[in-house]
């Protein structure tokens, strides 16, 4: 109170007792008077700060400061989003004990993507207390854990979104879909489980139906099994199938189930087991009457010279005119490889010219084609000219005239991922991809001097906006990568075919001022190197990207010892954030060798080792 009184007196410019004007007192203001302590901020403001942070980052930053922050973290009424991906083993146990378990009833979203964590041991003991959990995402988990978890999902009363992605093949023959379809609140379901099959005894639904409105199946499924599954989801609005294969039965039976709400469908047909067009017609005639958006992508080794299969414009016109009267957007792509003769190319030209009839023009559906030649093969691609709302876009050599029509301005479409095959296309697409966040340089991309294309690239897409960069071409040097990364400070995921030095001394690159600058400004936490790597290149990598949390590499056996010694050393400040290492294509004896290396070098032993699909996972 006295302090407030003094402030009032100091701010008074009038002396009412003497009725004279009084000059303000000249107080000396120190730097400490201007600084507000962090703890002076209100609880409400801290809760707003927490909302902008990943939950375990906020927990690590504030929980152990003092008693007040512990109470702030634990006693809030707001819901929690748990994301367990790049977190160290010691931090995880602290987070589990002092955050997840005490606040289980407040968890709204739970995401697990670390294959070294047993999801059953983590989730099953707390499952009944997850009363507010609406979204469960299990990514990169072992298939053996899936069924025990699915069996307990019915104890989650408000679960509305479920994603399950396995890292290996499933063995069980039980029908997991029948259990998922029984969840009473489920609206979104995404499944990717290799070798997951549907038992033959699984029959068409009669009186039990699912509430699912959005179904995504990314593993292989035959069209006859899909026809059965769809009878269980009468409320379905969106359907996406990533690997649809032909039925083993040539004749498919029609069903009486109507999908009156299904408006958006995306299908990719398997390359080796392409669905015959007559089987696809049955799927359309059964379920696609209300579809407004259809995305089709199919690949074939060769072209059927007689029917054209999916390049038969007349057959498409008949199918759309009779069974898809509500179709507004038709996004189609068909690719063929290995042309055997000039006759096949002439047949290809003949079939695609049929897509210029009055029917296609009236619907404003326009198409183009491209021949893409590599050293190994030739590919012909026939595709919808307007990209609509595609998230991925592949650019080859040159754009055909009028490829972007005014009515389908690409600037209005949220295309996020761009794949570049050549530099020729860049200048033709200035300002066409303002929403892109991912950039891929494809295998056949010819690398020019980076400084010669950076200006064009920045007009092609906003480099500062990129969050993921993938370089699959083989001659993109590490120096060129550093030159590019100085303009892309927000990238967090980096994928490289290899680290190319071209006889340049890696020490010189490490000490270069540009490398030092990129090391300070970049936020790269997730790195994948596809080809074998040496300890010298690992050292260069960690110097340039000292915030790596998750590293995936491939190496030769003789390089295992020096790389492990370097990465696991406590004295190595450049790997202080690294907590998850994947070594791909490893041999069976590598785990034994790795354990002996750690023991002999007296390195920290608090590690979890797992071998899944010939990949060695190490978490610490």
Q: What is the DSSP string of 371-393?
A: EEE-SS-EEEEEEESS-TT-SEE
- DSSP one-letter code for 500: B
Both structure tokens of 259? 């999908």
Neighbours of 407 (CB within 10 A): 7
C-alpha to C-alpha distance for 600 and 444, rounded to whole angstroms: 44
Contacts of residue 393, Cβ cutoff 8 Å, sequence gap at least 6: 387, 415, 417, 418, 419, 433
Q: How many CA atoms lie within 13 A of 342 on its CB side?
A: 0
Tokens found for residue 262: 């299904």
CA dihedral 169, 172, 173, 178 (to 10 degrees): -100
Cβ pair 132, 79 in contact under 8 A: yes
Q: In angstroms, rounded to a whole number, what is the distance separating the alpha carbons of residues 80 and 121?
A: 20
- From the number of C-beta atoms within 10 Å of its C-beta (0-12, 13-18, 19+), residue 324 rates as buried
Domain count, the chain: 2
In a domain, 311, yes or no: no
Residue with token string 């399950």: 164
Closest CA to 427 of 398, 386, 451, 407: 398
- The neighbour count for residue 524, using CB atoms within 10 Å, is 24
Domain interval for residue 16: 1-57
Q: What is the dihedral of CA 582, 583, 584, 590, to 10 degrees?
A: -140
User: What's the pLDDT at 289?
Assistant: 95
Domain boundary among 57, 79, 96: 57
Would you say 141 and 119 are in contact if contact means Cβ atoms under 8 Å apart? Answer: yes
Domain membership of residue 1 (yes or no) is yes
pLDDT given for residue 420 in this prediction: 87
Q: What angle do CA 12, 15, 20 make, to 5 degrees?
A: 125
Buried b (16+ CB within 10 A) or exposed e, 573-596: ebbeebbbbbbeebeeebbeebee
Can you tell me the distance from the alpha carbon of 566 to that of 50, in angstroms, rounded to the nearest whole number?
35
Q: Count the Cβ atoms, other than its own, within 10 Å of residue 26.
A: 6
Does 456 reside within a domain?
Answer: no
In a domain, 52, yes or no: yes
Of 29, 57, 85, the position where a domain reaches its end is 57
The answer to whether residue 586 is domain-embedded is yes
How many CA atoms lie less than 13 Å away from 388 in the CB half-sphere? Answer: 16
Low-confidence ranges of the chain (pLDDT < 50): 1-32, 35, 387-389, 397-413
Of 472, 492, 429, residue with least CA distance to 86? 492
Does the residue 389 lie in any domain? no
Q: Which residue do the tokens 């038992």 mark?
A: 199
Distance of CA 434 to the CA centre of its chain: 19
pLDDT the model gives residue 507: 93
DSSP 105: G
Q: Token pair for residue 111?
A: 């995401």
SS3 content of the chain, % helix, strand, coil (to 5): 35, 20, 45
Residue 356 lies in a domain: no
> In the prediction, which pLDDT does 138 show?
98
Residue 555 in contact with residue 527, Cβ under 8 Å? no
State how far the alpha carbon of 400 is from the alpha carbons of 18, 168, 247, 468, in Å.
Answer: 88, 42, 38, 28
Q: pLDDT of 576-600, one tens digit each?
A: 999 999 999 877 678 788 878 877 7
Whether 92 is in a domain gets the answer no
Kindly report, residue by residue over 161-178, the tens digit of the pLDDT: 999 999 998 887 778 999
Structure tokens at 51: 């909302």
pLDDT at residue 26 in the model: 46
């Amino acid at each position: 109170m006295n302090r407030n009184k003094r402030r009032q007196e100091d701010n008074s410019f009038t002396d009412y007792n003497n009725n004279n004007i009084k000059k303000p007192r000249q107080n000396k203001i120190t730097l400490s008077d201007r600084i507000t302590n962090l703890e002076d901020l209100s609880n409400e403001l801290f809760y707003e700060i927490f909302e902008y942070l990943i939950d375990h980052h906020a927990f690590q930053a504030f929980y152990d400061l003092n008693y007040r922050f512990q109470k702030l973290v634990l006693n809030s009424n707001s819901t929690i989003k748990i994301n367990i991906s790049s977190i160290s083993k010691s931090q995880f146990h602290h987070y589990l004990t002092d955050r997840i378990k005490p606040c289980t009833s407040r968890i709204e979203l739970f995401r697990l993507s670390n294959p070294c964590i047993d999801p059953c041991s983590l989730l099953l003991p707390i499952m009944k207390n997850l009363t507010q959990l609406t979204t469960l995402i299990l990514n990169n988990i072992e298939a053996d854990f899936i069924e025990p978890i699915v069996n307990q999902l019915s104890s989650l009363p408000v679960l509305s979104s479920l994603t399950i992605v396995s890292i290996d093949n499933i063995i069980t023959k039980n029908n997991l879909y029948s259990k998922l379809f029984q969840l009473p609140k489920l609206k979104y379901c995404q499944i990717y489980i290799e070798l997951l099959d549907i038992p033959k005894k699984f029959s068409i639904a009669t009186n039990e139906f699912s509430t699912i409105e959005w179904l995504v199946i990314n593993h292989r499924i035959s069209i006859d099994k899909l026809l059965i599954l769809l009878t269980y989801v009468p409320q379905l609005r969106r359907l996406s199938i990533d690997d649809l294969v032909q039925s083993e039965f040539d004749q498919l039976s029609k069903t009486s189930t109507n999908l009156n709400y299904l408006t958006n469908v995306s299908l990719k047909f398997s390359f080796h087991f392409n669905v015959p067009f007559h089987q696809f017609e049955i799927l359309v005639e059964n379920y696609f009457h209300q579809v407004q958006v259809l995305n089709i992508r199919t690949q074939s080794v060769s072209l059927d010279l007689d029917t054209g299969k999916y390049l038969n414009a007349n057959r498409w016109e008949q199918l759309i005119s009779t069974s898809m009267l509500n179709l507004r957007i038709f996004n189609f792509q068909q690719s063929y490889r290995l042309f055997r003769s000039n006759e096949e190319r002439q047949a290809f030209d003949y079939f695609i010219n049929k897509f210029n009839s009055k029917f296609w023009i009236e619907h404003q559906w326009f198409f183009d084609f491209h021949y893409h030649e590599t050293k190994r093969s030739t590919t012909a691609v026939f595709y919808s000219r307007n990209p609509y709302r595609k998230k991925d876009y592949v650019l080859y050599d040159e754009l055909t005239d009028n490829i972007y029509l005014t009515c389908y301005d690409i600037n209005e479409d949220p295309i996020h991922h761009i794949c570049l095959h050549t530099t020729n296309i860049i200048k033709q697409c200035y300002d066409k991809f303002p929403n892109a966040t991912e950039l891929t340089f494809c295998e056949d991309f010819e690398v020019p001097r980076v400084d010669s294309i950076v200006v064009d690239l920045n007009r092609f897409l906003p480099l500062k906006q990129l969050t993921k960069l993938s370089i699959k071409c083989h001659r993109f040097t590490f120096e060129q990568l550093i030159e590019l990364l100085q303009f892309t400070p927000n990238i967090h995921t980096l994928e490289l075919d290899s680290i190319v030095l071209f006889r340049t001394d890696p020490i010189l690159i490490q000490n270069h001022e540009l490398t030092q600058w990129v090391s300070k400004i970049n936020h790269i936490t997730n790195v994948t190197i596809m080809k074998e790597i040496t300890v010298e290149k690992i050292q260069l990598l960690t110097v340039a990207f000292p915030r790596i949390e998750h590293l995936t590499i491939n190496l030769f056996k003789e390089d295992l010892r020096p790389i492990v010694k370097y990465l696991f050393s406590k004295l190595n400040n450049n790997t202080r954030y690294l907590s998850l290492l994947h070594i791909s294509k490893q041999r069976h004896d590598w785990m034994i060798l790795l354990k002996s290396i750690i023991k002999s070098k007296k390195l920290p032993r608090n590690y979890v080792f797992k071998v899944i699909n010939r990949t060695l996972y190490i978490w610490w």
